[in-house]
Amino acid sequence: MKIATWNINGIKARIENLRQWLADFSPDIVCLQEIKSVDEGFPRLEIEALGYHVETHGQKGFNGVAILSKRKPDEVMRGLPGDDSDEQSRYIEAVFSVPSGVVRVASIYLPNGNPSDDPVKYPYKLAWMERLRRHAEQRLTLEEPLILAGDYNVIPEPHDCFDPTVWATDALFLPQTRAAFRRLEHLGLTDAVRATSDQTKLYTFWDYQAGAWQKNNGIRIDHLMLSPEAADRLRATSIEKTVRAWEKPSDHVPVVGYFDFA
């Protein structure tokens, strides 16, 4: 199975790119972030025409996540537990039947948190990460393949960005952010890309400004985090860099995990 995550940066602006990639690459499950669309405004028919089932958790103009899949999920949960007052659409989770049992997949759009000295935005990011940690801890007790896929807005290590000094005071790279990400990892989750490659300059995001793509001034912030049961079935990963060179691209590219769930 090919399971991917992609911050699409606006589904309506990027629908043709998405349709082309789905047709060419044929992933089994795709976790989208930043769809920037309410549920009823999502271009469902165009995607269903390619043979995909669509589940969304949208929000007008901002945020929003979705899961596209070749098979219909057995169950779907919208929203990250732990704060009933949180109105931002940043989490959707689905369970799929596979030959070996089930696989649980979540699409995550973690808060950016910038500016890091903002009295609301950065604390919200850290609180959201703690909610995610608690939820992941609970899900891990199920002892099933779990894939937490998404735009984490976290640069885990210095070699995951082109120049650590540029990002030193950014919310994506602050020590508190990276420590929160490590607490998530320490539950027993595996970073799929780093489990399959120790290469440097593996990036998933290039800013639209200052020729970042042309200079390869990127960062790695899109991750597939795996439970032990999912990590045992991981065979390979890929970062679909070529998509960034397409017309009207997202500033993120798909990250794909290849799994054996036979």
Q: What is the pLDDT of residue 243?
A: 97
Residues 247 and 200 sit within 8 Å (Cβ to Cβ): no
Q: Which of 151, 170, 191, 222 is catalytic?
A: 151
Per-residue pLDDT, 149:
98
CATH code of 149's domain: 3.60.10.10
State the burial class of residue 261 (Cβ atoms within 10 Å of its Cβ: 0-12, 13-18, 19+).
Answer: middle
Taking the CA atoms of residue 32, residue 257, residue 195 and residue 116 in that order, the dihedral angle to the nearest 10 degrees is: -10
pLDDT score recorded for residue 262: 83
Beta bridge partners of 54: 68
Of these residues, 28, 52, 91, 109, which one is catalytic? 109
Residue 6 phi/psi, 5-degree rounding, is: -155, 120
Distance from chain centroid for Cα 20: 20
pTM flag (> 0.85): yes
**Which is it for strands 2-7 and 29-33: parallel, antiparallel or unpaired?**
parallel
pLDDT tens for 143-195 read 999 999 999 999 999 999 999 999 999 999 999 999 999 999 999 999 999 99
Q: Which residues contact 118 (CB under 8 A, 6 or more apart)?
A: none
Three-state DSSP class for residue 208: coil
- pLDDT band of 96, cuts 50, 70, 90: very high
* Residue 152: active-site member: no
Q: What number of other Cβ atoms are within 10 A of residue 85's Cβ? A: 4
Domain containing residue 219: 2-259
% of the chain exceeding 90 in pLDDT: 99
What whole-number distance in Å separates Cα of residue 102 and Cα of residue 106? 13
Residue 258 annotated to the active site: no
| Burial 100-117, CB ≥16 within 10 A → b, else e | eebbbbbbbbbbbbbebe
Q: What is the pLDDT of residues 45-54, one digit of tens each?
A: 999 999 999 9
Structural domain total, the chain: 1
Between the alpha carbon of residue 130 and those of residues 6, 55, 95, 162, 190, the distances in Å are 23, 25, 23, 27, 18
